[in-house]
Amino acid sequence: MQILSYGLLNGALYSLVALGLSLVFGVMNYLMVAHGGLIMLAAYTTFWAFFYTHIDPFLFILVVTPLFFIIGWILFKILFQSLMKFPEGEKIKNSLLISFGLLLIFSNLAILFWTADERAVTTVYAGKVLDVFGIRLPYTGLGGVAIAIIVIIALHLFLTRTYFGKAIRAVSLDHEAATLMGINVNKVYLVAFSIGCALAGIPGVLTSLHALNPAISFDLTNKALIVLILAGVGSIKGVLIGGFFLGAIEAAGVYLVGTPYREVFGLILFVLILMFRPQGLTGKKA
C-alpha cells in the first residue's frame, strides 16, 4: 500500500510531465522531445530562485509558467515556425531532429551553469508526512497531486469552453477547414506551442523538490513519451490516467523486483502498448 501510494504520487508528476508534450503533438504533430529539457531548466530556475529568495517553491509556479510561455513563443518563432508548411510525416521527423538537438543543448547548458552535481530545493516542510491509516504521504507529493488535477481540469475547461480552446481543437482535427472558419492557424500553432512549453514550468517546479541533475531531462522526456503512448494521442483525460498508470506500474515493479529496474517497467509497458493497443489505453480505434 505504501509503495502503491508513492507510485500514485509519482504518477501525478508524470501526468504533468506529459501534458505539454501531448498538447503540442496532438495539435501540430510536432514531437517535441526537448520537453524534458524544458522541465529540467524550469526545475533549475526554481532551485536558483529559491536559493536567493527562500520563498515557498510552489509559489514559483506563478512565475516560471509565464516565463516558459515566453520561451516557447521564442523557440517557435526561431525554430519551429518554418516546419508548419511541411506535410504531416515530415513535421514529425523534422521537429524530432530539431528538438532532440535542443534537448542536448539544454542538458549541456545545465551542466555548464549548475554542474552535474545533484541538487534539490529543501523546504521547511520537506520530509514532513501526512499519516493516513498508517500510509505516509509526503506533503510535497500531495501538493503535486492537487496541482496535477487542477492543471488538467483547467486545461480541459480551456479547450472545451473557450473560443480559442475550441479553435485549437479544430486546428488539430482539420487545419484547412479551420482556416475556412476564419481561424488564424499560424497564431493557434504559436499559442498552442507556447502553452505546451508553459506546461513544462509546473512539473519543473515540482521536480526541483526531488533530486535534480542535468541528466533528468532525458529521463523526463522518456516518461512523457511513455505516458503519451499510454494515453493515446490528443487525449487530455488519457494523460491523467496514463500518468497514474505508469506511476503504479513502476511502484509495483520496484516492490516486486527492486529499485534498479524501475525504468525498465515503464519501457516494457511502452513496447507492450505499442504492440497490442497502439491507440492508447483510453483512445478509440482509428
Partner 1 sequence: MLEVHQVDVHYGDIQALWNVSFRVEGGEIVSLIGSNGAGKTTVLKAISGILSLTKGSVTIDGVRSDTIKAYQIVEQGVSLVPEGRRLFRDMTVIENLELGGYIERVRPQKNENLEWIFQMFPVLDQRVHQLAGTLSGGEQQMLAIARGLMSEPKLLLVDELSLGLAPLIVKHIYMTLKEINRSKKMTILIVEQNVRLALEISDRGYIIENGRITGEGKGSDLLKSDKVKTAYLAMG
Binding site for partner 1 (CB under 8 A): 163, 166-167, 169-170, 173-174, 176-185
Minimum gap (Å) between residue 267 Cβ and partner 1: 30
Task: Tell the smallest beta-carbon distance from residue 187 to partner 1 (Å).
Answer: 9
Cβ proximity to partner 1: between 52 and 163 the closer is 163
**Longest CA span, the chain:** 59
Q: State the nearest-atom distance from the C-beta of 159 to partner 1, in Å.
A: 11
> CB 38 → partner 1: shortest distance, Å?
28
Burial of residue 36 (CB within 10 Å: 0-12, 13-18, 19+) is buried
- Please, which residue, 131 or 176, has the CB nearer to partner 1? 176
Strands (E), the chain: 129-132, 135-138
C-beta of 136 vs 237, nearer to partner 1: 237
Q: Dump strand ranges (E) for 110-268.
A: 129-132, 135-138
CA–CA distances in Å: residue 238 to residues 15, 182, 234, 284:
9, 30, 8, 11
> Which residue, 159 or 249, has its beta carbon nearer to partner 1?
159
CB of 202 to partner 1, least distance (A): 27
Nearest CA to 221 among 267, 258, 260? 267
Rounded to the nearest 10°, the torsion over CA 184, 190, 11, 151 is -70
As a whole number of angstroms, the distance between CA 70 and CA 67 comes to 5
- Residue nearer to partner 1 on the CB measure, 94 or 179: 179
Helix (H, G, I), strand (E, B) or coil at 94: helix
